[in-house]
């Protein structure tokens, strides 16, 4: 959908895919996405979104903007897929301008992110289990969640062993100095 829609009743995506594109908006007070259906795009949803078990939320960064949800995003099941489209694999995504520093914002959310977490993240040929709210690659822990008015994929790198050794050495020196002075 690429135009504004003024229908104010509930919109149910029973199957297939509903894309809210560019300047398009959906005025529904509630959008329900059923098992096997997908919600995606980069337009504006003016109400709440209920993602039901077996549904998918598709993010296409290449469209030049993010979907904005003015209401709440409710994950009503434990097997909802988050899909980052347009990349060959996760490394391709991390090298893109959409992943900056230690995070990637994938939706604007003015309400709350409620319910369970996404079950999996698909990026090209890679799939990651998100049932615990995060996944690990090497030493880095990736988490999906809300921060302010956005939904983000963030990474928290684990410090290198040399960083831990420097910290332990510094604490040892401080303890020795305190013992001499005390």
Residue 78 has pLDDT above 90, yes or no: no
Contacts of residue 136, Cβ cutoff 8 Å, sequence gap at least 6: 142
126-135 confidence digits (pLDDT tens): 999 988 889 9
Residue 101 has pLDDT above 70, yes or no: yes
State how far the Cα of 152 lies from the Cα of 107, in Å rounded to an integer: 7
Residue 32 has pLDDT above 90, yes or no: yes
Cα 151 from chain centroid (whole Å):
5
Q: Average pLDDT of 59-88?
A: 85
Q: State how many domains the chain has.
A: 1
Residue 36 has pLDDT above 90, yes or no: yes
5-23 confidence digits (pLDDT tens): 677 788 999 999 998 887 7
Return mean pLDDT, the chain: 85
Which CA distances in Å does 99 have to 8, 28, 91, 94, 139? 35, 31, 10, 6, 18
Domain that holds residue 75: 4-181
């Amino acid at each position: 959908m690429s135009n504004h829609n003024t229908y104010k009743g509930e919109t149910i995506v029973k199957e297939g895919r509903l894309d809210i594109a560019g300047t398009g908006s959906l005025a529904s007070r509630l959008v329900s996405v059923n098992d096997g259906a997908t919600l995606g795009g980069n337009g504006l949803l003016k109400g709440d979104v209920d993602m039901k078990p077996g549904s998918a939320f598709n993010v296409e960064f290449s469209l030049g903007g993010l979907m904005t949800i003015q209401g709440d995003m409710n994950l009503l099941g434990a097997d909802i897929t988050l899909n980052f489209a347009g990349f060959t694999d996760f490394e391709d995504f991390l090298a893109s301008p959409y992943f900056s520093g230690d995070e990637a914002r994938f939706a604007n959310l003015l309400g709350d992110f409620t319910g369970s977490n996404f079950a999996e993240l698909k990026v090209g040929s890679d799939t990651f289990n998100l049932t615990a709210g995060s996944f690990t690659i090497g030493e880095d822990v990736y988490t999906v969640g809300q921060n302010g008015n956005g939904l983000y994929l963030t990474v928290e790198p684990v410090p290198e062993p040399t960083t831990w050794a420097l910290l332990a050495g510094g604490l040892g020196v401080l303890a020795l100095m305190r013992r001499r002075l005390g």
